[in-house]
Amino acid sequence: MTKLSVNINKVATLRNSRGGNFPNLPQVAKDLQRFGAQGITIHPRPDQRHIRYEDAKSLPQVVTTEFNIEGNPSSKFIDLVLDIKPTQVTLVPDAEDDITSNSGWDTLKHQNFLKKIINQFKNQGIRTSIFVDPKTKMIEGAHATGTDRVELFTEAYASGYYKNKEMSVEPYVVAAKKALELGIGVNAGHDLSLDNLAFFAKNVPALLEVSIGHALICESLYLGFENIIPMYLERLSN
């Protein structure tokens, strides 16, 4: 079954909006796992507008499932990951002022750069993943870096789902098959939700993990974390 990793950036955004420590981020991580989440994802950014570096350092004390840290591999980010040694690091090519991630890596143009960083992480026993668009040549480029996995950037799927879900999922099916052929694990994330997740998981072969934050947090405002996590797991199981 595909694992569900919950991105808790938005919880940190809510906390930061008033200062203090409410909602309590470590407690939220503990509760999400208690309700069934199989991983916790964070994406610290240079301005620390949601996840702070101190959060990244404290969360390993409460994450008993898989801990995934996403980010652009600046020197500060690399030092953070090597210090914490999470289960997985996902490399994302976001600029400092990006509101959210908006593209995958060009794994051909940045192949040597990525290879060097991935070697550092793998030498420390940290599983690596590269955020990529669902294009065969980007999967092939990722394979040349030595990465363990790719995370397919699913914004295009989510935006096209209601117009033609079969057409929208097809590039991801092709990309996942190429990754499997090359021996790379497949993750996915960005704009996946209760509405579009089941169809994606049913059609994309050997999907190992999805990382979901924004939609899940928004839906939880109405349904609550304790209810929403089993609903996501049910969609992944079918």
Question: Which one of the listed residues 66, 143, 151, 190 is annotated catalytic?
Answer: 190
Of 70, 151, 209, 219, which is the active-site residue? 70
Q: What is the pLDDT of residue 95?
A: 64
Residue 57 lies inside a defined structural domain of this protein: yes
Whether residue 104 has pLDDT greater than 80: yes
User: Per-residue pLDDT averaged across 187-193, rounded?
Assistant: 97
**Residues 130, 196: Cα–Cα separation, whole Å:** 23
Rounded to whole angstroms, how far apart are CA atoms 194 and 158?
11
Query: Does some domain include residue 87?
Result: yes
Number of domains forming the structure of the chain? 1
What are the pLDDT digits (tens) for 141-186?
Answer: 999 999 999 999 999 999 999 999 999 999 999 999 999 999 999 9
Predicted local confidence at residue 101, as pLDDT: 54
Q: Which residue is catalytic, options 43, 143, 151, 219?
A: 43
199, part of any domain: yes
38-97 pLDDT, tens digit per residue, is 999 999 988 888 999 999 999 999 999 999 999 999 999 999 999 999 999 999 997 655
Amino acid at 97: D
Q: Is residue 231 part of a domain?
A: no
pLDDT tens track for 194-234: 999 999 999 999 999 999 999 999 999 999 999 999 999 99
Give the model confidence (pLDDT) of 109-130 as tens digits. Answer: 999 999 999 999 999 999 999 9
User: What is the Cα–Cα distance from 88 to 90, expressed in whole angstroms?
Assistant: 7
Residue 102 banded pLDDT, cuts 50, 70, 90: low
pLDDT of residue 103: 75
- The residue type at 154: T
Beta-strand relationship, 3-7 and 149-153 = unpaired
The domain in which residue 105 lies consists of 3-223
Q: What pLDDT was estimated at residue 46?
A: 84
Q: What is the pLDDT of residue 205?
A: 97
Q: What is the pLDDT of residue 94?
A: 78
Does the residue 229 lie in any domain? no
- CATH code, domain carrying 175: 3.20.20.70
pLDDT value, residue 96: 58
214 carries an active-site annotation: no
| pTM exceeds cut of 0.85 | yes
Question: Is 230 domain-assigned?
Answer: no
Active site residue 50: no
What CA–CA distance (Å, rounded) separates 142 from 105? Answer: 9
| 190 falls within a domain | yes
The radius of gyration of the chain's CA atoms, rounded to the nearest angstrom, is 17
Please report whether residue 235 resides in a domain.
no
The answer to whether 70 is a known catalytic residue is: yes
Q: What is the pLDDT of residue 47?
A: 86
